Amino acid sequence: MIFLFTDFGREGPYLGQVEAVIARRAPAHRIIELCSDVSAFAAQWAAYLLPAYASIANTDDIVVAVIDPGVGSDRAGVVLEADGRWFVGPDNGLLALVARRATRAAAWRVPPPPPDIAATFHGRDVFAPMAAEIANHGGDALSRVGAIGIPATTLDRPDWPDDLGVIVYVDRFGNAMTGLRGTAIPGGSILTIGGHRAAQARTFNDVPVGDLFWYVNSNGLVEVAVNCGRASDLAGVKPGATVAVERP
């Protein structure tokens, strides 16, 4: 499978154009829209979502990850092989946590795009074709396109913590995901976001309707929610908000 993880949204033509390029070049492979509404331009926040949500991919599956505010600049395009899964995207920190947490990782720098391609849509014109090449030819695709091997550690951002105490994404229900893994904080901790305090619960029905709480979501991230309500409607509960942890 080829998974798409982007901030393109579904409203315009961008996601469809990327899918069309991949489908034309690798028609035997299924394309899955993993997430298309990651917070725009926020590569660091997305870097903490990506390992959690890309865990659905199997060995040899490919994730095209594009949150790329530096598109058209001198930032490189890269390919990462992490524990048998392939990732294609910009070298802007987006793949940092995937590379850091992998047991086995290898990376390559994609050749600079030719001057005749659009400077503003590398998702369609660079990363989608690269993903199709990998789908069709596996690891041999790297030599076919002239990619250059680099240490996977160069994709890391050493100044980024292992877990990020920030709201990195809000879903359509108003639930606020953090960059914290559930294993990173003790059970029973109290979270404070925007002046609001949230105790832990196992699931929504374990608290009264309208109550704010936190839980470990289905992909292992700490998430803040309101039972039958929207946590994001509370003042200060929004992407980028700091999450303070009061340990028991």
**Are 79 and 131 in a shared domain?**
yes
Both structure tokens of 3:
């998974």
Interhelix angle 128-137/14-25, rounded to 10 degrees, is 30
User: Are 146 and 180 in the same domain?
Assistant: no
- Burial string for 197-227 (b: 16+ CB within 10 Å, else e) reads ebebbeebeebeeebbbbbbbebbbbbbbbb
Q: Are 79 and 108 in contact (CB under 8 A)?
A: yes
Structure tokens at 73: 């600049």
> How far apart are the C-alpha atoms of 167 and 247, rounded to whole Å?
18
Verify that 112 and 179 share a domain, yes or no: no
**CA-wise closest residue to 87 among 71, 65, 66, 67:** 65
Number of domains in the chain: 2
User: Which DSSP symbol is given to 2?
Assistant: E
Whole-number Å distance between alpha carbons of 242 and 41: 18
Whether 114 and 132 map to the same domain: the answer is: yes
Cite the beta strand spans of the chain per DSSP E: 2-6, 31-35, 62-66, 77-82, 85-90, 105-109, 148-150, 164-170, 176-181, 190-193, 196-200, 212-216, 221-226, 243-246
Tell me, yes or no, whether 222 and 140 share the same domain. no
Helix (H, G, I), strand (E, B) or coil at 242: strand
Q: How do the pLDDT tens digits run along the chain, 248 residues long? A: 999 999 999 999 999 999 999 999 999 999 999 999 999 999 999 999 999 999 999 999 999 999 999 999 999 999 999 999 999 999 999 999 999 999 999 999 999 999 999 999 999 999 999 999 999 999 999 999 999 999 999 999 999 999 999 999 999 999 999 999 999 999 999 999 999 999 999 999 999 999 999 999 999 999 999 999 999 999 999 999 999 999 99
Residues 137 and 173 in one domain: no
Q: How far apart are the first and last CA of the chain?
A: 42
pTM of the model: 0.96
Which of 155, 175, 205 is at the close of a domain?
A: 155
What CATH number corresponds to the domain at position 223? 2.40.30.90
